[in-house]
């Protein structure tokens, strides 16, 4: 018993000042941010990729508006990463910086994977799939133009919009996906990051 007590006393004196044994088990803020962003960002990015593949295999347009249904999971992944960061660092407070960082990195990783999936799938499918996507996008654009009041319509501008859609490249599709996913994550991640700062 005397030997055990002696070891406990020595171990306690070896700890840094103002440090408790429980704090040694708590990961640093930067480690937690990186680990959680990787887990949630890659996870939801893969989910977006699987949704694209599902749309393609079921005969739907994987590059059209329906791909947004899979991307809607990104804001939830951002919030989950920020919430789990606060829980992981407890009793420490994550602060605004770490909370926003984990949310931003989660959204960025998800956007990169989603955009890469669109780029890869677009190169792997037949050209008719891309042609069908452009035709669907043109039809959606024309419906929106018809709903615009006549006094606000501009025939030249409408023609230019249709021409841009008809000339959409694979790079344009991937860039559009990246921007949309990143914005979806950050629009939710900014207010939630402030909320979960403490």
Q: Is residue 132 part of a domain?
A: no
Q: Is 18 left (phi over 0), alpha (psi -120 to 50) or beta?
A: left
pLDDT along the chain (198 residues), means of 10: 41 43 51 90 95 92 89 94 88 84 94 95 87 87 83 82 84 94 93 82
CB atoms within 10 A of CB 18: 6
Q: Is residue 96 part of a domain?
A: yes
pLDDT of residue 142: 86
Q: Is residue 7 part of a domain?
A: no
- Structural domain boundaries, residue 109: 28-124+170-195
pLDDT of residue 23: 39
Would the pTM of this model clear 0.85, i.e. be above it? no
CA–CA distance, 155 with 29 (Å, rounded to integer): 55
Q: Is residue 138 part of a domain?
A: no
Q: Is residue 69 part of a domain?
A: yes
pLDDT of residue 25: 43
DSSP character for 168? -
pLDDT of residue 8: 39
Q: Is residue 42 part of a domain?
A: yes
Q: Is residue 78 part of a domain?
A: yes
pLDDT of residue 45: 95
CB of 96 closer than 8 Å to CB of 193: yes
pLDDT of residue 18: 44
pLDDT of residue 155: 81
Q: What secondary structure, in 3-state letters, does 129-155 show?
A: HHHHHHHHHHHHHHHHHHHCCHHHCCH
Query: How many domains in the chain?
Result: 1
pLDDT of residue 114: 96
Q: Is residue 119 part of a domain?
A: yes
Task: Return phi, psi of residue 91, to 5°.
Answer: -85, 5
């Amino acid at each position: 018993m005397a030997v055990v007590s002696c070891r406990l006393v020595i171990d306690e004196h070896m700890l840094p000042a103002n440090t408790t044994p429980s704090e040694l088990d708590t990961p640093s803020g930067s480690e937690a941010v990186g680990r959680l962003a990787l887990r949630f960002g890659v996870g939801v990015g893969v989910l977006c990729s699987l949704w694209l593949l599902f749309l393609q295999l079921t005969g739907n347009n994987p590059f059209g508006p329906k791909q947004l249904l899979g991307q809607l999971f990104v804001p939830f992944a951002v919030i989950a990463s920020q919430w789990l960061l606060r829980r992981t660092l407890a009793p420490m407070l994550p602060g605004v910086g770490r909370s926003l960082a984990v949310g931003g990195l989660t959204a960025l990783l998800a956007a990169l994977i989603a955009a890469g999936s669109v780029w890869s799938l677009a190169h792997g499918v037949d050209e008719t799939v891309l042609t069908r996507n452009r035709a669907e996008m043109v039809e959606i654009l024309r419906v929106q133009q018809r709903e615009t009041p006549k006094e606000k319509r501009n025939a030249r501008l409408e023609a230019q919009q249709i021409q841009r859609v008809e000339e959409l490249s694979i790079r344009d599709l991937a860039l559009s996906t990246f921007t949309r996913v990143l914005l979806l994550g950050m629009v939710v991640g900014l207010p939630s990051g402030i909320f979960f700062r403490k």
